[in-house]
Chain A
Amino acid sequence: MSELQQRQIQLEVLRYNPETDTAPRYQTYSVPCLEEWVVLDALNYIKDHLDPTLSYRWSCHMAVCGSCGMMVNGEPKLACKAFIHEYKEGQIKVEPMANFPIERDLVTSVEDFITKLASVKPYLIPKEDKPVSAGEFKQTPAELKKFKQYTLCINCMLCYAACPQYALVPEFLGPAAISMAHRYNQDSRDGGRDQRQEVIASDEGVWECSFVGACSEVCPKHVDPAGALQQIKVASTIDWYKEHLMPWMKK
């Protein structure tokens, strides 16, 4: 690598150890970055060469595992997808994901999200009990298209870090959990929508969403959670009228 492609970047990183520190602080590292690097490469450089005590999560380095979500210059990003060359100023601020408690430095606690995700039963609940011998559940390309984009969610939680509504109301079920429920609701093989609606159609479910749309803007996999939530609102409204005005229509 030639010297020309290298740029000295000041990485301002939030440091915090809840066990010993009274408050978070910022530590600046000067990192010789190559232009094709991503922020994660810079963090790995710090960990390997400057400060082994820095804590952060990462695994795949290719926007598949969803581990390295953090705030880069105040925006929720995957550190492995935030290219250094997009930050012209030579100074990059790196903080843990907003709206989540800090466990250590850039590592946040994911418990709240995992509990919420599990509550929407994010798995296939078969419509009909079919023995294996009866063959596969067939789907047309059109049926697959209805839910495919929602399967792309990698549970990185960037949408929660971006959601101002989640920041105000921590009980809000949130974008990723609800769009994952939508993924199964839209699946022609699934019959679990009624069970999921008990959680989704509650006040803290989809109705806490005010359609800001930040979730869809920051989503690194283009899942468009905001779109899923809007579709769920329409379907839940139709449900409500069916349940209250035409109770005899109930399945």
Chain B
Amino acid sequence: MAKSNKPIFWGLFAAGGTITAFVTPALVLITLFAAMRFNMDMFTYDSIHAFAAWWLGKLIIFGVILVSLWHAAHRLRVTVHDFGVRADKQVAIVVYSLAGLGTLLTLIFLLRI
């Protein structure tokens, strides 16, 4: 049986997958900063606060925290199940309550800015 030449493509695929998973998002962000002519003034307390006080800024921050919280809650629920804890209902109530509380607090804090 002849040996396969698939290692060429699989090697690239595997290396690319690892890079994409670990560093590509950070590289995209860094490149974006570079394109925006990055300077430290962009990240002062006042400028971030101004962003959070803007209605669209509030919406973006709320959206990011909302989906991250609910993602983490669901991931934790599945992981706990994988670790052998067979009490899905109780676990679901705890993690989703925490996510719900986080969502509520985010809303309150954003509206107070």
A interface, CB within 8 angstroms of B: 197-199, 201-205, 207, 233-234, 236-237, 239-241, 243
Distance in Å from the Cβ of B108 to the closest Cβ of chain A?
43
The reply to whether A203 and B6 form a contact with Cβ atoms under 8 Å apart is yes
Docked CA distance A205–B7 (Å): 12
**Closest chain B residue to A201 by CB distance?**
B3
- 0 or 1 for each of B19-58: is its CB under 8 Å from A? (1 = yes): 0000000000000000000000000000000000000000
The reply to whether A205 and B4 form a contact with Cβ atoms under 8 Å apart is yes
Q: Sort A-B residue pairs by CB-CB distance and give the 3 closest, nearest first.
A: A240-B7, A237-B7, A202-B1
The reply to whether B14 and A201 form a contact with Cβ atoms under 8 Å apart is no
The reply to whether B14 and A240 form a contact with Cβ atoms under 8 Å apart is no
B interface, CB within 8 angstroms of A: 1-8, 10-11, 14
- Chain B residues with CB under 8 Å of A207's CB are 4, 6, 10
Docked CA distance A233–B17 (Å): 14
- Chain A residues with CB under 8 Å of B5's CB are 240
Docked CA distance A207–B5 (Å): 9
**Closest chain B residue to A239 by CB distance?**
B7
The reply to whether B11 and A202 form a contact with Cβ atoms under 8 Å apart is no
The reply to whether B1 and A233 form a contact with Cβ atoms under 8 Å apart is no
Residue pairs across A and B with Cβ atoms less than 8 A apart, 28 shown, are: A197-B3, A198-B1, A198-B3, A199-B1, A201-B3, A202-B1, A202-B2, A202-B4, A203-B2, A203-B4, A203-B6, A204-B1, A205-B4, A207-B4, A207-B6, A207-B10, A233-B7, A233-B14, A234-B14, A236-B7, A237-B10, A237-B11, A237-B14, A239-B7, A240-B3, A240-B5, A240-B8, A241-B7
- Chain A residues with CB under 8 Å of B14's CB are 233-234, 237
Docked CA distance A97–B7 (Å): 32
Docked CA distance A182–B11 (Å): 19
The reply to whether A201 and B11 form a contact with Cβ atoms under 8 Å apart is no
**Closest chain B residue to A202 by CB distance?**
B1
Q: Identify the interface centre among A198, A201, A241: most chain B CB within 10 Å of its CB.
A: A201
The reply to whether B4 and A241 form a contact with Cβ atoms under 8 Å apart is no
**Closest chain B residue to A207 by CB distance?**
B6
Distance in Å from the Cβ of B83 to the closest Cβ of chain A?
15
- Chain A residues with CB under 8 Å of B4's CB are 201-203, 205, 207
Distance in Å from the Cβ of A36 to the closest Cβ of chain B?
19
Docked CA distance A243–B7 (Å): 12
Docked CA distance A243–B8 (Å): 12
Docked CA distance A236–B7 (Å): 7
Docked CA distance A41–B60 (Å): 59
Docked CA distance A198–B3 (Å): 6
Docked CA distance A197–B6 (Å): 14
- Chain B residues with CB under 8 Å of A203's CB are 2, 4, 6
Docked CA distance A237–B6 (Å): 8
Docked CA distance A234–B14 (Å): 9
Docked CA distance A203–B8 (Å): 13
- Chain A residues with CB under 8 Å of B10's CB are 207, 233, 237
- Chain A residues with CB under 8 Å of B3's CB are 197-198, 201-202, 240, 243
Docked CA distance A239–B11 (Å): 11
- Chain B residues with CB under 8 Å of A240's CB are 3, 5, 7-8, 11
